Structure 1
Amino acid sequence: MGTTIEDARRALGPVGVALPVSFAATAPIDAQREAVGRLERAGYRAVWTNEVLGKDALVQLSVLLAATERMVFGTCIANVWAREPETANGAAATLAQAYPGRLVLGLGVGYPAQAEATGREFGSPLARMRDYLSRMDSETYPPAPDAAYPRIIAANGPKMLALAGEISDGALPAMYPPEQTAQARQLLGPDKLLVTGLSVGVNPDPTEAKAEARQRVEALLEAPAYRKAMAGLGYSTEADDRLVAAVVPHRGPDSIAAKVHEHLAAGADHVTLLLPIGTEFEAGIAQLENLAPALRF
């Protein structure tokens, strides 16, 4: 019998997809049920969902797990401000008991505004995450189901990645080039689960696809930490062609498949594809279906 991490690696496979995200509206649950069925039939083995305050990812996954036969689901990410850690463990363990081997719980600290919305101070992300993971295993009455599932932390910077390697089953960095995946693997060590979030451009018009990819990278570069990380990896701190191609493959399905391979070669166990935020749900599902033939490896 394998470990929880080894089992997750096998179940997830090398590549998965995140459901299209819009902060303006949530797709009806019937449309989501139909969509994950389509993605399963297209050959994907894993689907990831986001969470914001007001949208409960674990409730969402309970519906989608029931709507599929083998699909593995992950959260990218479940927000630590949305629920108490003991409740998070109880909910995740219940899903893991009901659907063994089909859940990966990704956890993240999110943003200061999300903490403020719940009446709490954001404080130190590292301290908050350490406390949250520790409290997940607190004794409760009745106890949570005795069902194993992997917990991974949304982590881009070296300190959070090191913490993920220390206290969790792995990490989920996102929107970085393969060189950062290699650094993440080095910090985590070989025995942790490394899931990489890869932004992809799917516009069939080459000029529009390039412009959209550049806009996404320019938005990322507004964060000083991201600019510093890119400089440390040997990239420009401007959205030049080299950086854009490294972060957001956008030259058709083959370019996306090639970038997935690069992340896997750099040490990722699994790569999940992230469509642009605001992608219309039905259009996004169709785009992911169209990508599937190039991603079957």
Structure 2
Amino acid sequence: MQIPSLGRVGVYLPVPFTDPPAPRELPAAAVRLADAGYGTIWTNEFPGKDALVQLAVLLEATERVVFGTGVANIWTRDARTAAAAAEFLHRAHPGRLVLGLGVGYPQQAADTGREYGDPLATMRDYVDRMRPAEYPRILAANGPKMLALAGELADGAMPAMLPPEATALARRVLGPGKLLVAGLAVMPGASRAEAVARVTGTLGQPWFARAVARAGYPADADRLVDAVVAYGEPDAIAVKVREHLAAGADHVALLPQSGSDFATDVEMLARLAPAADQPI
């Protein structure tokens, strides 16, 4: 199984969790980002927005872009349903799909009437129930145990919003030959104070505090912000991209954090593309 060429830098389609854009706006946005130079576009998922259905539309609207789910939540669909959908997309658009899977949070399991259980056992069971694939599968993994599982059962991993030291740890755990996608929070044009406010909100999530502690950072937003958020001018953001690539990432996926409307974020990301993809 050959992993598609993702390029050094990709971008999330900046669909907000509230007030999502009309469906017809998504293909136009993907084309705009592709024209700006991004060879890989990632999509998120939340109730009411199916990641794989979305990719069916986006793949048809573009010719060469690789699309990845970042990530498809395993509580949204049965493992065999996910496998069948991803296989269909891969056969229709060979070499243009990366299926990212995530175990998510207990509330997401509860919303489907199921028990969250042990996340490692749950993810193992889910991947085991998917038949072998001709497209790459990666796991959302911010801790060493899930990273090890990704190295065992999948083709790679996607840690997100963590410092370069965590990317280096992920590479050591995964070993060579596995795809490592680092999700980098980006806030172009933002001040440091605005970036600190964003990190402060994320510190309320226990997984984040544990992950940054493993990387040697205290759970202090003011001391952590420069390590986990790329903010300010395009050249400063490019520096953070290069840090993750140097730490062992194969690909950096830009995660917009501005909170602006969809169209504004798309244009912001398009303008950022030339700087973000500067060589290491």
Do both proteins adopt the same fold according to a TM-score greater than 0.5, normalized to the shorter chain? yes
Distance 1:170 1:228 in 2: 21
Cα contact 2:162–2:211 (8 A) shared by 1: no
CA RMSD of aligned residues (A): 1.5
Q: Is 1:156 matched up with 2:142? A: yes
Cα deviation, 1:18-43, whole Å, max 9, x if unaligned, reads 01131212211211111111111111
> Greater Rg, structure 1 or structure 2?
1
Structure 1 equivalent of residue 170 of structure 2:
184
* 1:250 aligned counterpart, secondary structure: strand
The answer for unaligned runs of 5 or more in structure 2 is: none
Residue 12 of structure 2, aligned match among 14, 18, 21: 18
| Secondary structure of the structure 1 residue equivalent to 2:76 | coil
Between the aligned partners of 1:106 and 1:49, the Cα distance in structure 2 is 10
Name the amino acid aligned to 1:263.
H
* 8 Å contact kept, 2:183–2:254: yes
Residue 256 of structure 2: aligned partner: 275
Q: 1:189 deviation in Å?
A: 0.6
Give the aligned partner of residue 60 of structure 1: 54
> Which residue of 2 is the match for residue 170 of structure 1?
156
Distance 2:247 2:90 in 1: 30
Give runs of aligned pairs for residues 232-251 of structure 1, distance below 5 A: 232-240=214-222, 242-251=223-232
Q: How many residues align?
A: 278
- Partner in structure 2 of residue 144 of structure 1: none
* Distance in 2 between residues matched to 1:285 and 1:198, nearest whole Å: 16
Give the distance between the partners of 1:35 and 1:223, measured in 2 at CA. Answer: 30
Q: What secondary structure does 2:253 align onto?
A: strand
Q: Aligned partners of 2:215, 2:259: CA distance in 1, in Å?
A: 29
- Residue 84 of structure 1 aligns with an amino acid whose one-letter code is D
Task: Give deviations 1:144-195, integer Å, cap 9, x for gaps.
Answer: xxx7110000000111111111111110000000000000000001011101
Distance 2:53 2:120 in 1: 27
* 1:74-97 residue CA offsets vs partner (Å, 9 max, x unmatched): 001001011110110110011000
Equivalent pair of 1:103/1:149 in contact (CA under 8 Å): yes
Q: Which residue matches 1:143?
A: none
Once superposed, which parts of structure 1, at least 4 consecutive aligned residues long, lie more than 3 Å away?
Answer: none
Structure 2 distance, partners of 1:25, 1:175, is 23
**Unaligned segments of structure 1, at least 5 residues:** 139-146
Identity of aligned residues (%): 59
Letter in structure 2 aligned against 1:64: L
**Partners of 1:23 and 1:278 within 8 A in 2:** no
Partner of 1:229 in structure 2? 211
Deviates more, 1:191-200 or 1:242-251: 242-251
Aligned to 1:209: 191
- Hey, what does 1:286 align to over in structure 2? 267
CA deviation digits over 1:95-132, x for unaligned, max 9?
A: 00010110000000111111111110111111110000
CA distance in 2, matches of 1:48, 1:273: 9
Q: State the TM-score, normalizing by the size of structure 2.
A: 0.95
1:54 shift after superposition: 2.3
Q: Could you state the TM-score of these two structures normalised by the residue count of structure 1?
A: 0.90
Q: Give 1:277 deviation, angstroms.
A: 6.7
Tell me, in whole angstroms, the C-alpha distance in 1 between the residues paired with 2:46 and 2:207.
Answer: 23
CA distance in 1, matches of 2:114, 2:19: 26
Distance 1:113 1:30 in 2: 30
The within-5 A match list for 1:80-99 is 80-99=74-93
